[in-house]
Chain A
Amino acid sequence: MTALTLTLKKIPQQRIDCSPLTPDALAGKSAADIAAIPLQSGKNTLRVDALFDVSGDDVAEIVFMNGCDKLDYIGAAMHSGRIIIHGDAGCYLGFRKKGGEIVQHGNAGNFAASGMTGGLLHIHGNAGDFLAAAIPGDRKGMAGGLVIVTGNAGDRTGDQMRRGIVLIEGNAGDYCASRMIAGTIGVMGATGDYPGYGMKRGTLLLFKPPRLIATIQDCGMHTLPFLKLMYKSFRDLPSKFAHLDQTRVRRYAGDLANDGKGEILLFS
């Protein structure tokens, strides 16, 4: 058994909805069945084999080759298994993902990990805006699971995020953790303007001094022993965050305009 490999033949003209191509949805399907699955492309539908060269037969592991930024909804609603993407992905990567693993070697589009509730999303590259955020109209963004981004993330990372952990080894854009309800976001690089804007609860781990709004208040330096527990949970992660051990941090609390139970911990 080799992993089911979907090699994109050429960059499609319209965006493609790849949500039918998950290990759960393909379980029990033959190669011919998979080749015939219709994918929404703009207002038309295209067969899988019109877009991809299909090889391999183990649907528990799906590999996308030649990924491009028009492939939306990869790994949407998946429960189990593994998806590996070589190349870029479009918007909504891991949308409402409940479990399983997505590993990407390339850049993800907007709204990656939106509504995700479990499992791992590991992006070896950059993520677009609204990483782990809620799509318009939804009340909650990411609600569980783990996201690791080795590159940078765009604006509004973790907007209305509810639960789970987002670890960004590069920089994050403006309004990081805006309207965050709960959960943890770590950013090793710089953050843009106004992190924690409208933050209700939750924890933001920063390593560079942020530019804050007035309703997030400096609470001074603290030694926080509970951080050791968090570090222990990070210890086995395939990320730079696995090596943290500093318990002396500067703590900011806010956003006081929205309950003020959120915190920003600054390591420096």
Chain B
Amino acid sequence: MLTKLSGGTVYDPAHGIDGKVMDIYIRDGRIVERPQDTERIDQEYKLNGKIVMAGAIDMHTHIGGGKVNIARSMLPEDHRHDPAAHSGACRAGCGHAVPSTLTAGYRYAEMGYTAGFEPAVLPMNARQAHLEMGDTPMIDKGGYAMLGSDDLFLRMLAAKKDQNAINDYVAWTIAASQAIGIKVVNAGGINAFKFNQRFLDLDEKNSRYDITPREVLKTLSRAVYELGVPHPLHVHGNNLGVPGNVETTLNSMAGVEGYPMHLTHIQFHSYGVEGDRKFSSGASRIAEAINKNKNISADVGQILFGQTVTVSGDQMSQFRNAELGSPRKMVCMDIECDAGCGVVPFKYKDQNFVNALQWAIGLEIFLLVDDPWRIFLTTDHPNGAPFTSYPHLIKLLMDKSFRKDVFATLNADAQTMSTLASIDREYTLYEIAIMTRAGAAKLVGLHDRGHLGAGAAADITVYTDNADREKMFAKPDYVFKDGQLVVKDGSIVKVVWGATHTVRPEFDRGIEKEIKTYFDKYHTIKMEHMKVSNDELEDGGRSKIIVQECKGRREKTA
């Protein structure tokens, strides 16, 4: 079966193609070179005047795992107020901030997204996370396994174990939880919370293990690099949401000593203490540091106004924030010896000084970071806003007059604290394609996604050019997933199940002896039971596993 997409205007930053009219050919789910003229085209889509990009990739979205389910069960009102009736190919569902798995998949595809990555897979909860993601249709999935606050890692660090042993443990965790990267949340802080510490700065010691977050970040970023895992260490920094945390974030960047690091939802970590209310924007300093340090990348975690729910492994921050919840409900819990979790519903208000400034800080970071290959478009779904607000966010980035109009309606005190009105940058379609496609695929380590070159999976989104970018990105004309037409005119026409992306770095199996002893002594289940098998992911053939290439283990680098 040979499909031709003819005459579209193609944006493919991975190959430097910026709005060139060209044809794309798809055979058996893959993009192929132009076939010989004698070959018969089975199907042709005439895309003259349309905009063609690879399928979008959300590199940080909470769509699976225990905390999402806690949020769902805690917020029946979120579901009552947003029902989605069954129609055509789709089954019924519901939910605005934390949609049901099926609805989440449909809504992603209807916006032209073809992959999403769950950033907080607790190894102990990996099975639950994968089962939920496996039940999310349309898109490819993957997860980052959480380390850094688990007792075994901290014990190893406290015992001054060799970096190689730690690398083996990190690789074992990736393999056992079928992840594609490693994430650290409030490095060591979730553990410190269990020993009654309520704040933990970068150089503050965990009272039990005598370990500082700086050591955790350095050791883990080095481990991920030495294992050759393409996705750099995914870091949710310390002191989330605390005014003045811009210093912590800048020190964290320096603390990894040149190893690659991805700072996630950096908007929540870019707050200063200036002004009458001791809360100000640290965006320009953060952006300057990102521009300077090429080993650092970041996603923004933009907030947008309205009701949502914050779900996080950062129990320490969520415990602090619980009082601010709206409606007043919350869950904060320890999860075995791994980490913790906190769920607090939240309503961002445009007339609230702090919320309005958070909104401006996020946009300032977007606009002040020069290199779109190292800054990514996220709302940290659902923490800053549900992912369904991405088209609105894209419009804010691409349309300065719209952005300024919205800004002018916000809390007046917040306006005086932000330089946003003086920033004239507008993102181009090419830059949006980098952020949401090529750059994201490169960052996560997806070799066959996010671009439109021969050999890539045919995940393709086709839009009608519209000066109103929100309308344009909310409703693509066509979405192809692995070569199949799945969305037409913004509605699902065929339901597919996507695949799970993983990496499999090499490691010495000898490490299992120590891990097993630890599991036997402290955990509620056996080590062998914790491992997620391939069969569980493939779910009888409905899904499949794609093992992305690792760069190969490096020798000691320090």
The docked-state distance in angstroms from the alpha carbon of A137 to that of B74 is 7
Q: Which residue of A lies closest to B73 (CB)?
A: A137
Q: Does B521 belong to the interface (CB within 8 Å)?
A: no
Q: Does A136 belong to the interface (CB within 8 Å)?
A: yes
Q: Judging by beta carbons under 8 Å apart, are A139 and B76 in contact?
A: no
Q: Which residues of B contact A33 (CB under 8 A)?
A: none
Determine how close the nearest CB of chain B comes to the CB of A232; give it in whole angstroms: 35
Q: Does B35 belong to the interface (CB within 8 Å)?
A: no
Q: Judging by beta carbons under 8 Å apart, are A136 and B328 in contact?
A: no
Determine how close the nearest CB of chain A comes to the CB of B356; give it in whole angstroms: 27
Please encode chain A, from 122 to 138, with 1 for each CB lying within 8 Å of some chain B CB and 0 for all others.
00000000000001111
Q: Which residues of B contact A135 (CB under 8 A)?
A: 76
Q: Does B34 belong to the interface (CB within 8 Å)?
A: no
Q: Which residue of A lies closest to B327 (CB)?
A: A139
Q: Judging by beta carbons under 8 Å apart, are A137 and B75 in contact?
A: yes
Determine how close the nearest CB of chain A comes to the CB of B82; give it in whole angstroms: 14
Range for the number of chain B residues in contact with chain A: under 10
Q: Judging by beta carbons under 8 Å apart, are B328 and A137 in contact?
A: no
Q: Does B329 belong to the interface (CB within 8 Å)?
A: yes
> DSSP class of A's interface residues: helix, strand, loop or mixed?
loop
Could you jot down 11 A-B contacts, CB within 8 Å?
A: A135-B76, A136-B76, A137-B74, A137-B75, A137-B76, A137-B77, A137-B80, A138-B77, A139-B327, A139-B328, A139-B329
Please encode chain B, from 301 to 313, with 1 for each CB lying within 8 Å of some chain A CB and 0 for all others.
0000000000000
Please encode chain B, from 66 to 97, with 1 for each CB lying within 8 Å of some chain A CB and 0 for all others.
00000000111100100000000000000000
Q: Which residue of A lies closest to B86 (CB)?
A: A43
Q: Which residues of B contact A (CB under 8 A)?
A: 74-77, 80, 327-329
Q: Which residues of A contact B (CB under 8 A)?
A: 135-139
Determine how close the nearest CB of chain A comes to the CB of B307; give it in whole angstroms: 14
The docked-state distance in angstroms from the alpha carbon of A67 to that of B75 is 33
Q: Which residues of B contact A136 (CB under 8 A)?
A: 76
Q: Which residues of B contact A138 (CB under 8 A)?
A: 77
Determine how close the nearest CB of chain A comes to the CB of B192; give it in whole angstroms: 32
Determine how close the nearest CB of chain A comes to the CB of B88; give it in whole angstroms: 15
Q: Which residues of B contact A137 (CB under 8 A)?
A: 74-77, 80
The docked-state distance in angstroms from the alpha carbon of A57 to that of B13 is 63
Determine how close the nearest CB of chain A comes to the CB of B505; give it in whole angstroms: 43
Q: Which residues of A contact B74 (CB under 8 A)?
A: 137
The docked-state distance in angstroms from the alpha carbon of A137 to that of B329 is 10
The docked-state distance in angstroms from the alpha carbon of A139 to that of B327 is 8
Q: Which residues of A contact B327 (CB under 8 A)?
A: 139
Determine how close the nearest CB of chain A comes to the CB of B69; give it in whole angstroms: 15
Q: Which 7 residue pairs are nearest across A and B when measured between Cβ atoms?
A: A137-B76, A137-B77, A139-B327, A136-B76, A139-B328, A138-B77, A137-B75
The docked-state distance in angstroms from the alpha carbon of A138 to that of B77 is 7
Q: Which residues of A contact B75 (CB under 8 A)?
A: 137
Q: Which residue of A lies closest to B92 (CB)?
A: A43
Determine how close the nearest CB of chain B comes to the CB of A241; give it in whole angstroms: 33
The docked-state distance in angstroms from the alpha carbon of A231 to that of B329 is 37
The docked-state distance in angstroms from the alpha carbon of A135 to that of B75 is 12
The docked-state distance in angstroms from the alpha carbon of A135 to that of B328 is 16
Determine how close the nearest CB of chain B comes to the CB of A15; give it in whole angstroms: 15
The docked-state distance in angstroms from the alpha carbon of A139 to that of B329 is 9
The docked-state distance in angstroms from the alpha carbon of A135 to that of B81 is 13
Q: Which residues of A contact B80 (CB under 8 A)?
A: 137
